[in-house]
Chain A
Amino acid sequence: MRNHRQRRLTALATIASLATVSLLATACGSDDKDSESDGKVHITVEGWRPGDEQGTIDAVNKQAEAFMKDNPDIVVKPIEWEWNAETFSTQLAGNQLPTTFRVPFTDTKGLAERQQIADVTEYVNALPYAEDFNPSVLAAAQGTDGKIYGLPTDVYGVGLHYNRDLFEQAGLDPDQPPTTWDEVRQDADKIAEATGKAGYVQMSANNTGGWMLTTLTYALGGRMESEDGATASIDNDATREGLQLLHDMKWDDESMGKNTNFEWGTINEAFAAGKIGMYMSGSDVYNALVTTNQIDPDSYGLAALPLAESGDAGILGGGSVAAVSAKASAEEQEAAVKWNDFYRERKNYDPDAAVADAKVLAETDQPIGTPTLPIFDEETWQKVEDAKAEYVNVPRDQMTSFTEGVFEQTLIPEPASHTQEVYGILDSIVQKVLTDEGADIDALLADGNDQVQALLGS
């Protein structure tokens, strides 16, 4: 028979145990990684993307073994990892990031300011090519304090990717991709009418909408921010022209298909499945199309992005910085920079390293020879290209429009300040234009400009 006293006792005990648990939880902090006791330096590195084929995994593991042979006091463990805007910040907070990882150029300064990535200036300066970086490329890897926070890699310029099969079906010559935006519009219209597939598609979700709108703006001669990142200039003629073009293609020509909600991964997927005639993306996206989406190489073409006549027109350029976690110890930072040099940077500088890397990639059936842009100077770049020419297994002759045209195009860096947040604001402008036929472009741009200016001012 429960009486009042017994019930009160149980209640007291419950509260006491709850309090204990809460106290315990406060006391428990996050465990620091135990340093290994075998005297070696252990680092985890970004190895392959989720969904990559076994060949890609084997390739990086082979490289890790070769590196460990040259550096017996370092243990490298490649893991599955992909830069993703949403998971990156939580992994950062939860100490779950690999020791070294790549971040886009746009995030490097912000991360450096918040001391989330390590200052590795001394380790980078110890590399033989430290003096030879193209200064504007190295600037992307430097913080506002001028210190170096990683190695710039995967430098790309945006190009126009097109489906050669759809071009043929529409009666267009796949070796003559469009060279002006008017031609893009006409070709898209022809493809849509002849094949029923989307002639031209542009990303609009997950910050990629803003990224692509900025690209279109640059191609038409405009800018999104002032160079110092203090003033917004969303409301410019080039952006207006670009949005009007998208509006007309979508609603008048109906050449953009019915699906509009694309981001980087899903647009690649749709393109590789033959549902899209043309789209803009980084020049190195062919690698992902092969490893993740199994594209048919014969159907792929890469053209230089059409630019307007204006002298300000150029292509958006970006890349990644191979950065090191700020939680890494000095030895781990040094080891990470050595790994990044071995795995990512050396092959851009040293012809022999490029050949060695190409051999490994060839053995594991990875794409070799996707167009990239120079990180050092054009001469070095050419030497490396020539050295690995015999290993190239991507259809380079289907990309000549890009490889021959890109060096005449000005490379413009992404907006300097609050880049990803600006892209988010632009996303919603692009989505409105593509889903609402009556969207008022002028009002959208004026409002967007206010929002971005408020952001830049904060």
Chain B
Amino acid sequence: MSAFLARVRGSGATIAFLLPMLLIFGLFSWWPIVRSVVMSMQQTNLVTPAEFVGLDNFREVLADPLLTTAVQNTVWFAVLALVIGYPVPLMLAVVMSDVRRARGLYSMLAYLPVVIPPAVAVLLWRFFYDAEETGVFNTILGWFGLGPVPWLEDPSWAMPSLVIEATWAAAGGTVIIYLAALVSVPPELYDAAEVDGAGILRKVWHVTLPHLRGIMLITLILQIIGTAQVFLEPYLFTDGGPDNATLTVLLLVYNYAFANTTGGDYGKATALSLMLAAALALLSMVYFRLTRRWSE
């Protein structure tokens, strides 16, 4: 008995330190998730009493034509973000790691956009994206003889515009991560490569990138998960427009929940959220299984 108590006392300290974290997580993360699962099976607007409807919400969401649009747009955003947004921090980090002096200054400049509150950044860029010839970006393009771009007003330009701003806003954080990893590359490897006659590009391809492989795989899946949940840019820039060209899955969830003035449909909103979470979890599992041998 006393041996048991001795072990409990030992664990007591552990539990005491864990408790605040458990309470906060429980109240603000796990409890809402449990509530969401329950709500996804109810017809509720949080105002009139809720009623259980089983899987009806899921069926309604799957039958909604806007869901197809939202999924397509989200995938398109993710693809654009991979093409534009994934290489940029990498290139910046590689360039910055070569710089000897004032690296701190460049790091700060790279990180500055991350520090600007997202809503402020978006509203600022919305002003820059004015489609008239007198808009800031169109004026700059005009100096090079390039025509005014419709930016946010044209369905085919709207999503790329969002991705450009999102890249600018988020690149800094990833740059810092890559920089830290790059510092860990032994300089002897670069010397050896130079002796073998490698130029800059081959040094990067054969020395730098293999060392960053582990980190890059992690940032890739994090980026995919992050872009799948994009909400701020479509909401603040164009509110899903023009003509649903920037409607993403999370914006659709938001519209289900809040767009009806006399009481939103929280059942459908939580149902869609759960489906998105399940899809992303599945994607992550497949991803880690496939890349297991690469990240060793």
- Residues of A participating in the B interface, judged by any CB pair closer than 8 Å: 5-6, 9-10, 13-14, 17-18, 21-22, 25, 85-90, 92-94, 107, 110-111, 114, 116, 196, 204-206, 257-261, 420-421, 424, 428, 431-432, 434-436
Knowing A9-B8, A21-B27, say if A93 contacts B130 (CB, 8 Å): no
Of B23, B132, B242, B243, which is within 8 A of A257 by CB? Answer: B132
Contact call B264/A90, Cβ cutoff below 8 A: yes
Contact call B243/A432, Cβ cutoff below 8 A: yes
Knowing A10-B11, A17-B22, A259-B153, say if A420 contacts B260 (CB, 8 Å): yes
Knowing A18-B26, A261-B152, say if A5 contacts B259 (CB, 8 Å): no
By beta carbon, the residue of chain B nearest A209 is B241
Contact call B26/A22, Cβ cutoff below 8 A: yes
Interchain CA distance A138-B78 in the complex, whole Å: 52
Contact call B153/A258, Cβ cutoff below 8 A: yes
- The residues of A that contact B257 with a CB separation of less than 8 Å are 90
- The residues of B that contact A14 with a CB separation of less than 8 Å are 15, 18, 22
Knowing A90-B264, A261-B153, say if A17 contacts B238 (CB, 8 Å): no
- Of B10, B23, B262, most buried by chain A (CB within 10 Å of CB) is B262
- The residues of B that contact A436 with a CB separation of less than 8 Å are 155, 243
Interchain CA distance A90-B260 in the complex, whole Å: 10
Contact call B48/A259, Cβ cutoff below 8 A: no
B2 to chain A, nearest CB (A): 14
Of A86, A257, A261, A428, which is within 8 A of B258 by CB? Answer: A86
Knowing A5-B7, A86-B258, say if A261 contacts B242 (CB, 8 Å): yes
Contact call B243/A431, Cβ cutoff below 8 A: yes
In order of increasing CB-CB distance, the 4 nearest A-B pairs are A21-B26, A93-B46, A258-B131, A110-B262
Contact call A261/B47, Cβ cutoff below 8 A: no
Interchain CA distance A434-B155 in the complex, whole Å: 11
A188 to chain B, nearest CB (A): 16
B113 an interface residue at 8 Å Cβ cutoff? no
- The residues of B that contact A87 with a CB separation of less than 8 Å are 258
B184 an interface residue at 8 Å Cβ cutoff? no
Contact call B155/A85, Cβ cutoff below 8 A: no
A17 to chain B, nearest CB (A): 5
Contact call A421/B241, Cβ cutoff below 8 A: no
Contact call B18/A435, Cβ cutoff below 8 A: no
B154 an interface residue at 8 Å Cβ cutoff? yes
Knowing A6-B7, A88-B261, A116-B262, say if A431 contacts B14 (CB, 8 Å): no
Interchain CA distance A17-B22 in the complex, whole Å: 7
B244 an interface residue at 8 Å Cβ cutoff? yes
- The residues of A that contact B11 with a CB separation of less than 8 Å are 6, 9-10, 13
- The residues of A that contact B31 with a CB separation of less than 8 Å are 21-22, 25
Contact call A435/B154, Cβ cutoff below 8 A: yes
- The residues of A that contact B23 with a CB separation of less than 8 Å are 17, 21
Interchain CA distance A316-B262 in the complex, whole Å: 22
By beta carbon, the residue of chain B nearest A94 is B46
Contact call A21/B22, Cβ cutoff below 8 A: yes
Interchain CA distance A455-B185 in the complex, whole Å: 62
Interchain CA distance A431-B31 in the complex, whole Å: 40
Interchain CA distance A392-B26 in the complex, whole Å: 59
B239 an interface residue at 8 Å Cβ cutoff? yes
| Given A89-B263, A260-B153, A434-B242, 9 further pairs, Cβ under 8 A | A6-B7, A10-B14, A13-B11, A22-B26, A25-B31, A85-B261, A258-B150, A259-B132, A435-B154
B115 to chain A, nearest CB (A): 25
Knowing A22-B34, A435-B155, A436-B155, say if A424 contacts B14 (CB, 8 Å): no
Interchain CA distance A137-B130 in the complex, whole Å: 41
Interchain CA distance A334-B120 in the complex, whole Å: 42
B97 an interface residue at 8 Å Cβ cutoff? no
Contact call A114/B263, Cβ cutoff below 8 A: yes
Report B198-239 residues with CB < 8 Å from chain A CB: 238-239
Contact call B238/A261, Cβ cutoff below 8 A: yes
Interchain CA distance A85-B244 in the complex, whole Å: 19
B62 to chain A, nearest CB (A): 17
B1 to chain A, nearest CB (A): 14
Contact call B131/A259, Cβ cutoff below 8 A: yes
Contact call A205/B153, Cβ cutoff below 8 A: no
- The residues of B that contact A258 with a CB separation of less than 8 Å are 131-132, 148, 150, 153
